[in-house]
């Protein structure tokens, strides 16, 4: 898959996000959580679908983050809620990559969402 390079913005040095932790960043009016999963990075809307808790402050385990407010678990790859089971709630996920030690976020979807709002 090819990506238009104009859609990618540099966020931070990868070393600024410790393994198994998240950090939040604002892109326009959208708050995004970027997670270091050890071998790769992932990005989600920084807002738990339950009560809006800051997912970037949650505990990362495997491919999920646990919301610090009420322990809901969200898959960092898809944004789907994995706990409690049976919920169809989800948050938006975003494309992220690391190039030469810099974390980049694809902002095309963020721009489209804000334009539609």
Using CA atoms, how far apart are residues 79 and 100, in angstroms rounded to an integer?
Answer: 27
- pTM to 2 decimals? 0.87
Using CA atoms, how far apart are residues 49 and 67, in angstroms rounded to an integer?
Answer: 10
Using CA atoms, how far apart are residues 42 and 98, in angstroms rounded to an integer?
Answer: 10
**Is residue 2's pLDDT more than 60?**
no
Domain-wise residue ranges, the chain: 8-116
CATH of domain 8-116: 2.102.10.10
* Span 26-67, pLDDT tens digits: 998 899 999 999 999 999 999 999 888 999 999 999 999 999
């Amino acid at each position: 898959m090819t990506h238009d390079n104009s859609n990618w913005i540099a966020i931070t040095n990868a070393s600024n996000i410790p393994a198994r932790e998240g950090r939040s960043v604002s892109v326009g009016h959208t708050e995004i959580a970027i997670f270091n999963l050890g071998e790769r990075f992932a990005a989600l809307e920084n807002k738990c679908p339950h009560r809006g808790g800051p997912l970037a402050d949650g505990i990362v385990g495997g491919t999920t983050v646990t919301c610090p407010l009420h322990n809901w678990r969200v898959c960092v790859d898809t944004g789907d809620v994995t706990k409690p089971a049976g919920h169809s709630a989800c948050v938006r996920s975003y494309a992220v990559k690391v190039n030469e030690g810099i974390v980049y976020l694809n902002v095309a979807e963020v721009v489209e969402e804000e334009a539609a709002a």
